[in-house]
Amino acid sequence: MDETFKDLERFQFGDGPELADELLALVMSGRKTATCWAARDGLLTEVGKRMIACDGRNEPRVVIETVELVRRRFRDVDADFARDEGEGDRSLAHWREGHQRYFERNGGFADDMDLWCERFRVVARLGPTE
């Protein structure tokens, strides 16, 4: 791996290897430029922070940089953010359905729950074995 990135924090999108690979593929295609998580899980990034997104086998695949971070309630997420998450048909309805299921299986869901909503950019692509 490029020495520039060797000390960056690593993470996987989603909550399992299959979802990590699916979401990473959306990032790699340029379709996914946003993500979110329950605020109860803490503030995991800040604007300007770079991290390595790994695939479902925990192999480093891409370096992203946070470009926007906003705290908002689930019910206040808008269609633009849902589109930027890049999942399914990119509609707000699809986003709400999928994310409600995700939060229900990861600590609980409420329409008024707080989320951290992040937009990011790809800084570098890393080979599957780099």
For residue 130, tell me if it sits in a domain.
no
Count of domains forming the chain: 1
For residue 44, tell me if it sits in a domain.
yes
71-104 pLDDT per residue, tens: 999 999 999 999 999 999 999 999 999 999 999 9
For residue 3, tell me if it sits in a domain.
no
Per the structure, the complete domain to which residue 82 belongs is given by 10-124
114-130 pLDDT per residue, tens: 999 999 999 999 975 44
**Residues 6+ away with beta carbon under 8 Å from 40:** 107, 113, 114
Task: Read off the DSSP letter of residue 36.
Answer: E
CATH number reported for the structural domain that contains residue 33 in this entry: 3.10.400.10
For residue 129, tell me if it sits in a domain.
no
Residue 47: pLDDT over 70: yes
Reported pTM: 0.92
